[in-house]
Amino acid sequence: MAPDAASRRDEDEVCPVCKSSRYLNPDMRFLINPECYHKMCESCVDRIFSSGPANCPVAGCRKTLRKNRFRKQTFEDIGVEREVDIRRRVMHMQYSQINRITSIRLNRREEEFDSKRAYDDFLEQREDIIGNLVSRIDVAKTEAQLHKYATENMQSIRANQAIEAEEASSFQARISLEQEEARLRRQAAREEYETERREIQAGREDFLSKLASGSSTDAAAIAREGHKVLLKKSSARRSEEERIRQKQAALRSSELKRGSNLSTADFAGADTGLVKGLRKIKTPEPEKPYDPFMGYVPDKRDYYTLQSYYPSQYLDPIRNDARMLAGGYNLQDYYSRTLLEAFAGLSCFIGEEVSQRDAARVTKPAATEGTALAAESGQGV
Amino acid sequence: MIEDDIYRASSQYRLWSYTESSLQSLRATTNAVASERVRAALRRSRETHQSTASSAGTPQSETSAENKIKDANDIECLTPEEELVLVRYYCEKTLELGETYKPPMPTMVRATAIQYLRRFYLTNSPMTYHPKSIMACALFVATKTDNYYMSLRQFAEGIPGETTAEDVIAPEFLLMQGLRFTFDVRHPFRGLEGGVMELQAIAEGQGQPAPHLPHETAEDLQQGLLSIAPPPVPSSSMADRIARAHTKTRELLKSAAQMTDAYFLYTPSQIWLSAFLLADRPLAEFLLDVKLGGPVTATIPPPEIDDNGLVNPLYEIRSKLHRVLSECSALLQSYTPLSSDPVQMKNLKRIAKKLYHCQNPEKVNISAARKRESARPSPAIQSDAGPVTSESESERLAKKRKLEQEEAARQSDDVFGGELVTQRTKH
């Protein structure tokens, strides 16, 4: 029934422009333009739009159409076709149309939102927008909104686009990798089987030749030995295989890790006018240079400035004495050590600091550990 | 100040710095514990003596035995002050002992040995371990920790009298325990060299200002140094003056700083500066002014209050330091060598006699005691853990065993079994 009906309808299909019907021209193909979705036959498109953009020939429609935008209809219902186009435009694919940003890309991802609720709100809002566009409610206003959003969020749109693309490609890569691995495994198994077979063959021949040359008494011994050799060989091979397999597994896991390491890019746009509840994006602070001393400056001193030379009648002869310097003696080390010791602890006022320390140590009755221990052992006896 | 924090990391600061009062109470505690043990030990030795005597059949009246026990109870023990005098005497002896070697031991080694002795006798009493035996060992340990190699045989030969190598090292572990295994002693000697180096550089116009007072130039510093008050003894030049002060300070550090409690109460830099103050006050004051700014006198009140309403920290340090250094100088000045003073020598003789009577008999022979100790499966000797009577020891062991059994029984009830690692018990 259905094919019949379809073919019948096909047969009396008529091009709204040139009025030629399929009955007369069975090769006739219909094209549409997403600008106005008016249907016309291929020959009409060639005829009217070959020489550049022109108005839609359908009466009452004054849209300017271009030939390159004409395409085949995917869905039978023109309404569905239009809705799919709008969805695609709003969410995913990008048209390259001159002078117009057609890819609005309301493609926020769930992890960009503060909560599940915010994400759901966003999805609802997107459906509203699409609904408006489809049923032509407030089209101008909605378009303006989308346009504004697109210009404002160019960067994050790009980033999300990149993430999507990368996901797709990494998925592809993983699949191809798996296939490759499966192929390698199969090949390895085949080779393994082959070598094992060959070895068994060789062992058997060896064993036979031994039997032939040896006397009849040690036949049993030879047989046992031959069996043992075979076993040993196979176990050695097995361990070798095990090693290779482990290596491959490690390789695979590292590959996977690399794949999952896709970082979500930094999004500059925070809450935009259109989309609410976006997570505040913190650009991580640029890493400070590594400081191994945790803020401590190695040669910084508070009491003195280390000089490269101190006049001293004892030390002056050493400065040029090859016997001293040959061994690596460095007068600078002596300077820094003596000066450090000269002033280290100059303002450690032990009287104050130690009494504070002792006061902090309230658990111990005696002033120091030593006496505490002595007292303890005294009580213990 | 960064240098101070570096010093605060040292074991000398963490473990061996005391206030005067805590030092005193520590010595009193040590003395009290040791006297208690000496009395107990003497009583025991007399009891055993008496029992052997009575078993030998010598008739002895009850009253005399009681008298003896009473005697033991009021044995006169050394007071903390007497102990201190004794230890100081042996510190002086250590200096002399170091002198007898050829070549004489470096000052640093001897000073380290003296500090070991002083530290050891903070928690141990001369009544328990006689300083004579500890002294040689301290010096020997100091040669090792100060990187002045000397073989034990060579060392023992240098000691006058009948001292064998075995005797020298017998109390070694004991000493180390008493030192709490901290061998690092921060001396003021090297610090003095540094300070003198700075002064010389300033005198020759090559000095550099302290980081907190960067406005001064080398010329300013030199002018400042040249304009200070003249020394008590006139000298030909600034270099000569500095050298003289240096020598004098060094002498003070070698003797007075070692024989007093300076190391426990002050930091090395404070010690050398106070000795320097004694040697040449204007010079030392000048160095402090250069480092911390502004002369401090008692008459001028602190005027410097910065924007935050706080006293200039440098000024605060300076004024505190002023007090601490004068205290330390007073301490150093108070020292007079024992051997030069007949009154003190007489006092010392009295103390030595007293010590002869109240020496702990169980600890006299350290090497023998050490052998006994190692033969017995008893816990490690704690410093001044003192004599443990055999019955109380066995009682203690029995108690410990009982506790362990209880613990095991308790743990066997545990569903998941006992602990894998038994907790370390503190003896």
pTM value?
Answer: 0.59
Is the pLDDT at B69 greater than 70, yes or no?
no
pLDDT at B24: 93
CB contact, 8 Å: B156 with chain A?
A: no
Across the interface, whether the CB atoms of A345 and B396 are under 8 A apart is answered: no
Average pLDDT for B350-368: 81
Residue B258's nearest CA partner among B140, B148, B116 is B116
pLDDT at B178: 93
pLDDT tens, position by position, A185-235: 999 999 999 999 999 999 889 888 888 887 666 777 777 776 777 677 667
Is the pLDDT at B259 greater than 70, yes or no?
yes
Average pLDDT for B273-288: 92
- Distance in angstroms (rounded) separating the CA atoms of residues B379 and B393: 10
pLDDT tier for residue B251 given thresholds of 50, 70 and 90? very high
- Distance in angstroms (rounded) separating the CA atoms of residues B195 and A344: 12
Across the interface, whether the CB atoms of B190 and A338 are under 8 A apart is answered: yes
DSSP category for residue A22: T
- Distance in angstroms (rounded) separating the CA atoms of residues B160 and A218: 86
How close does chain A come to B38, measured CA to CA in Å?
A: 13
Question: Can you tell me whether residue A21 is helix, strand or coil?
Answer: strand
Average pLDDT for B62-86: 70
β-pair partners for A278: A113
Give the tokens for residue B283: 């010079």
Give the tokens for residue B314: 């440098």
Across the interface, whether the CB atoms of A305 and B211 are under 8 A apart is answered: yes
pLDDT tier for residue B55 given thresholds of 50, 70 and 90? low
Mean pLDDT check: name the lowest of A24-38, A51-65, A352-366, B116-130. A352-366
- Distance in angstroms (rounded) separating the CA atoms of residues B314 and B293: 7
CB contact, 8 Å: B36 with chain A?
A: yes
Count how many residues are written for chain B: 427
First CA to last CA distance, chain B: 41
Average pLDDT for B365-394: 54
Is the pLDDT at A103 greater than 60, yes or no?
no
- Distance in angstroms (rounded) separating the CA atoms of residues A61 and A36: 8
Q: Considering only CB atoms, which chain A residues are within 8 Å of B268?
A: 341, 344-345
pLDDT tier for residue A377 given thresholds of 50, 70 and 90? very low
Which of A307, A344, A378 comes nearest B201 by C-beta?
A307
Across the interface, whether the CB atoms of A343 and B13 are under 8 A apart is answered: no
| Other residues' Cβ atoms within 10 Å of the Cβ of residue B338 | 19
- Distance in angstroms (rounded) separating the CA atoms of residues A41 and A57: 12
Average pLDDT for B20-46: 90
Across the interface, whether the CB atoms of B208 and A310 are under 8 A apart is answered: no
β-pair partners for A32: A71
Q: Which residue from A minimizes the CA distance to B391? A: A381
How close does chain B come to A121, measured CA to CA in Å?
A: 53
pLDDT at A259: 46
pLDDT at B402: 80
Give the tokens for residue B327: 């205290």
| B 267-296 residues with CB < 8 A to A | 267-270, 272-273, 291
- Collect all residues with Cβ–Cβ distance below 8 Å to B135 and sequence separation of at least 6: B90, B93, B94, B97, B113, B117
A&B contacts, CB < 8 Å: 188
ipTM summary value = 0.77
Residue A303's nearest CA partner among A333, A345, A332 is A345
Question: Can you tell me whether residue A213 is helix, strand or coil?
Answer: helix
Across the interface, whether the CB atoms of A304 and B210 are under 8 A apart is answered: yes
Q: Which residue from A minimizes the CA distance to B396? A: A381
Give the tokens for residue B370: 């050490």
Question: How would you label B274-313 residue by residue, b for 16+ Cβ within 10 Å and e otherwise?
Answer: bbbbbbbbbbbbbbbbbbbbbebeeeeeeeeeeeeeeebe
| B 112-131 residues with CB < 8 A to A | 122-123
β-pair partners for B311: B305
pLDDT at B423: 56
